[in-house]
Amino acid sequence: MMNQSPIETALSRALIRWSLTKSTAVAETPRSWIFKVEQNGRNFGALKILKPLAAAEEGRGGRLLQYYAGDGAATVFDIHGDTIFMEWLGGPTLGAPARNGRDDEATAALASLVANLHRPRPDRPDDLQPLRERFEALFQADIRAWPHTARDLYARASGIALNLFDKPMPAIPLHGDLHHDNILSSDRGWLAIDPKGLIGDPHYELANAFRNPYGAVKLAADPKRINAMADTFSSRLGLNRKRILGFAAAHAGLSACWDLTAGNSITADLAILPHLLSAYDQA
């Protein structure tokens, strides 16, 4: 018999550990392998087997999902080593209504979801990444990596971020990557997946939604939409509107820095960031 690969070994151990009967490979991402599994031929679950390079961050995210205990997020049944056994969510993402003319509904759903995730709970994980640390890629960036015409955008985004961290808010656990395509439909409503496991200012939680859903750059760059989102998030969550927009602009700058480091295009962020900065200035 041929030697099993590490992923095959991890999968067969998981199937035995949790008495799972069938597994179907669903996706491989740069961070993990995802399998759909069956328990007793009736119930579906998901196995997420983490890749070594991403295990620390993804492990933090898994423990944050445990902390949410299924309230606004996918339920984690158990974690063993680098394998997470969790609820299977097969539904479409919140990106679908947003792309199909129902963006206001998607924004309202996002606000409700954040209200659930930010509810105070006991026993929060003790290894969450401080939000300020998450922003190091923005603060440490070489401005020369940015296109000439966009360097003022970088300067503004990093300046706003520094101001936000100079006036700290009470820190709470944060999903840290909450956007339309990380929220899935289920019979329990919309549920978040794939958190980063951060701790910091609650206003940051909404930042990534302004740049999404994926591929909808024209929608994300629409000043009316930016202001409508800020209004909804502020009124429904009792958060400061200008601070929400500040984090949205700062995060777009941070995202562009990550993409420049990875050699990816920053065209989308350059289309959206000026409008976020303008909304912030007017707030």
The catalytic site residues sit at 177
Report d(CA 98, CA 217) in Å as an integer: 12
Q: Is the peptide bond before 213 cis (omega within 30 degrees of 0)?
A: yes
